[in-house]
Amino acid sequence: MADATFLDVARLRDAADTADVVLAMDEDAFRAFYDRTSGALWGYLSRISGDRQIADDLLQESYYRLLKTPVAFESENHRRNYLYRIATNLVRDARLTRRPLFDETVELADVAAPEDTADPESRADVRRALGRLKPRERAMLWLAYANGSSHAEIADALGLKTASIKLLLFRARRKLASTLQRQVTR
Amino acid sequence: MNPLHRRERDLTDAQIEAIVAGAIAAEASLARREAAPPSSAIVWWRAQMRARQEAAKAVERPLTIVHAIAIACGVGLLLSAVGTLTGGLKGSTAWLTGLYESSGTRSGALGGIDFTSLWVTLPMTAMLISALVASIAAYVIFADE
Per-residue pLDDT of B32-82, as tens digits, reads 888 889 999 999 999 999 999 988 888 777 767 777 777 777 777 777 777
By C-alpha distance, which of A102, A65, A91 is closest to A143? A91
Write down how long chain A is.
Answer: 186
Total of domains in chain B: 1
Calpha distance B17→B113 (Å, rounded): 97
Tell if the CB–CB gap between A38 and B56 is shorter than 8 Å.
no
What confidence score (pLDDT) does residue B96 get? Answer: 62
Span B25-33, mean pLDDT? Answer: 90
pLDDT band of A68, cuts 50, 70, 90: very high
Q: Which residues of A touch B46 (CB under 8 A)?
A: 60, 64
From the list A6, A16, A20, the residue facing B56 with the nearest CB is A16
| Domain of B76, in residue numbers | 54-144
| B114: in domain | yes
Nearest CB among B24, B25, B47 relative to A64 is that of: B47
pLDDT for the residue B114: 59
The answer to whether position B2 is within a domain reads no
DSSP assignment of chain A: -TT--HHHHHHHHHHHHHSPPP-SS-HHHHHHHHHHHHHHHHHHHHHHHS-HHHHHHHHHHHHHHHHH-----SSHHHHHHHHHHHHHHHHHHHHHHSS-S--TT--HHHH--TT--S-HHHHHHHHHHHHTS-HHHHHHHHHHHTS---HHHHHHHHT--HHHHHHHHHHHHHHHHHHHHHHHH-
Q: Indicate the residue type of B57.
A: K
In this prediction, residue A106 carries a pLDDT of 43
Give span(s): CATH 1.10.1740, chain A. Answer: 22-101
The answer to whether residue B45 sits within a structural domain is no
Give the domain A22-101 fold: Rna Polymerase Sigma Factor; Chain: A (1.10.1740)
Give contacts of B58 with chain A, Cβ < 8 Å.
16
Q: What is the 3-state secondary structure (H, E, C) of A50-95?
A: CCHHHHHHHHHHHHHHHHHCCCCCCCHHHHHHHHHHHHHHHHHHHH
Q: Looking at the complex, does the CB of residue A142 fall below 8 Å from at least one CB of chain B?
A: yes
Q: Which CATH number fits domain A110-186: 3.40.50.2300, 3.90.550.10, 1.10.10.10, 3.40.190.10?
A: 1.10.10.10
Instruction: Tell whether B28 is covered by a domain.
Output: no
Answer yes or no: is B122 within a domain: yes
CA distance B74 to B70: 6
- Identify which of A6, A12, A113 has the shortest CB distance to residue B30: A113
Average pLDDT, chain A: 80
Share of chain A above pLDDT 90, in %: 46
ipTM score = 0.72
For CATH 1.10.10.10, list the domain ranges present in chain A: 110-186
In this prediction, residues A68-84 reach a mean pLDDT of 88
Residue A111: pLDDT band with limits 50, 70, 90: very low
Distance CA B43, CA A61 (A): 10
A34-49, pLDDT tens digit by residue? 999 999 999 999 999 8
Q: Determine the distance in angstroms separating the CA of A66 from the nearest CA of chain B, rounded to an integer.
A: 10
